[in-house]
Structure 1
Amino acid sequence: MRVTIDAGVAWVELNRPEVLNSFNETMLRELAALWARLRLDDEVRAVVVTGAGEKAFCTGYDRSGLEPTDDDSAQLLKASSPFLRADVGDFLGPKSCDLWKPVIAAVNGIACGGAFYLLGEADIIIAADTATFFDPHTTFGMPAVFEPLHLLRRMPLGEVLRLTLLGSAERMSARRALEIGLVSEVVPGDQLRAAAATVADTIAALPPLAVQATLRAIWIGSEMAPGQALGVAHALVAAGTDPAALAAGQDAFRAGGRPKWRLR
């Protein structure tokens, strides 16, 4: 895995292109440690996740790399009892690891299976026009459970059912993913990094406390009943208001300092 930080944006590249950026025990541990580190790094105000190479964003488990070892995380994943077993989402997902900074996923190719842990907890998804999405679990006799549960936050029920039940027999195009709202933008492959940078740089330039409170509010609203979410709204407004940032924003507004905008 490669990580660079530039102008408040952490660029995270899943770097196993020889196995289509599938994850093994090492990547799981590295990602969990990375989310924990970025959570406490005030320099980082937004994150972009992508895959190395042009073929794949992430293809889920590297089955050859998930054999039991002496490592504690491997033992948890392979525990004999379902009540003791951890899930890879405990390591992969930024939200599951309590990273509440905006995460942009730049999908540069195939995204399937366990990739939906990452996409399900990303905040904005941008795809190359060559990206494809599918879930192979049922094809190989495995239930698809965590992955479609993540996708239900982002896709209509019928589309989740079709993607998961058809297994490897059908792939969703980037164009279709845009139509149903799984991704918010599709660009040519050579423009993917620039498109992700535009979004990430814009967010990173904003007052971080306001951004993080907004992020928490939206995710809380997606998980709670409307009345419950509104019940914590005042607390989020209070927690996310930085008087200095608010004053600077008001001064800029009065001075006519509105930013240039682009039409998507």
Structure 2
Amino acid sequence: MSVIKTQRDGAILEVTLDRPKANAIDLKTSREMGEVFRDFRDDPDLRVAVITGGGEKFFCPGWDLKAAADGDAVDGDYGVGGFGGLQEMREMNKPVIAAVNGIACGGGLELALSADIIIAADHATFALPEIRSGTVADAASVKLPKRIPYHIAMELLLTGRWFDAEEAHRWGLVNEIIPAADLMDRAWEQARLLASGPPLVYAAIKEIVRDAEDAKFQDAMNRITQRQLRSVDILYDSEDQLEGARAFAEKRDPVWKGK
């Protein structure tokens, strides 16, 4: 039986990691998650994904240490999207929302960091405890100092301490905190809003953000204006680009076709 549950409604895909007791990720689970997110990326009818955890206690605690003790190599084959199927997924040009329904630590927090929007239940807690296990939170070491103040990120990485949803929100790590009973309703509300928007623009935004992450401003702008980014080039020649202008002129809502 699959531990990855999916629910599809129109252009939205909900992905639930449901692997009792704690939704930890072993190599097999990671590979399955990669296949799910690859199919989401490549399906033209899907526009937004929501990732959450099964149950009420755990979003994801990250790497399955019991599986590691039984022979799963920490540097093994995580699958097409890297650990958790998302953080190294190439050309993921669609919005992903993480609905953090409980504990998100280690690789689970890194999984949430791979999303574009993070919504946390009010009881959610976070940590990067890898240091206590004698290993490194590799993806978080790359991402976290770019997302929140450097000294806070380094403290969390170097101490492995726990912090709650309020602190995560204070540092800008999560977008909003929602009562647990309302978490998925809010995630779907946000997903529907995004699903109604222009998918080609979303793709351009995500590619620009990735490409410009370590670039100088003018270099990044030159690549955009010279149409060196595939998603931007597609957007500028698209029907949707014309539709946006026509809808504005005609004072009506645009109808996005994604082409």
Q: What's the TM-score once normalised by structure 2's chain length?
A: 0.85
More displaced stretch, 189-198 vs 237-246: 237-246
CA gap of 1:91–1:33, structure 2 versus 1, over 3 A, is farther
> Gapped runs of 5+ residues in structure 1?
79-84, 260-264
Mapped pair 1:97 → 2:89 = yes
**Structure 1 Cα separation of the partners of residues 135 and 241 of structure 2:** 51
Cα distance change on mapping 1:179 and 1:75 into 2, 3 Å: closer
1:122 aligns with 2:115: yes
- Where in structure 2 are the equivalents of 1:1-264 lying within 5 Å? 1-18=4-21, 20-66=22-68, 77-78=75-76, 90-98=82-90, 99-167=92-160, 170-234=161-225, 235=227, 236=229, 237-241=232-236, 243-257=238-252
Gaps of 5+ in 2: 255-259
Go from structure 1 to structure 2 and tell me whether the alpha carbon gap of 1:203 and 1:46 turns closer, same or farther (over 3 Å shift). Answer: same
SS in structure 2 at match of 1:17: coil
Q: What letter is aligned with 1:53?
A: G
Q: In 2, are the aligned partners of 1:129 and 1:188 still within 8 Å (CA)?
A: yes
In 2, Cα distance between the equivalents of 1:87 and 1:10? 20
Shift, 1:89, TM fit: 6.8
In structure 2, how many angstroms separate the alpha carbons of the residues matched to 1:107 and 1:86? 22
Contact map agreement 2:31 2:80 (CA 8 A) in 1: no
Q: 2:6, 2:13 within 8 Å by CA — same for their partners in 1?
A: yes
Q: Number of paired residues?
A: 246
> Contact between 1:48 and 1:196, CA under 8 Å: does it hold in 2?
yes
* Shift in Å, 1:195: 1.4
In structure 1, give the amino acid aligned to 2:14: W
Identity, % of aligned pairs? 34
After superposition, give the CA deviation of every residue in 1:44-67 in whole Å (9 maximum; x if it has no partner): 111110101110111011111235
C-alpha change, 1:67 and 1:202, in structure 2 (3 Å) is same
Q: Distance in 2 between matches of 1:137 and 1:89?
A: 21
Amino acid at match of 1:111: A
Task: Indicate the SS of the match to 1:10.
Answer: strand
CA shift in 2, pair 1:145/1:25, >3 Å: closer
> Residue 101 of structure 1: CA displacement?
1.2
1:82 counterpart residue number: none
How much has 1:172 moved relative to structure 2? 1.3
How far, CA to CA, are the matches of 1:120 and 1:157 in structure 2? 16
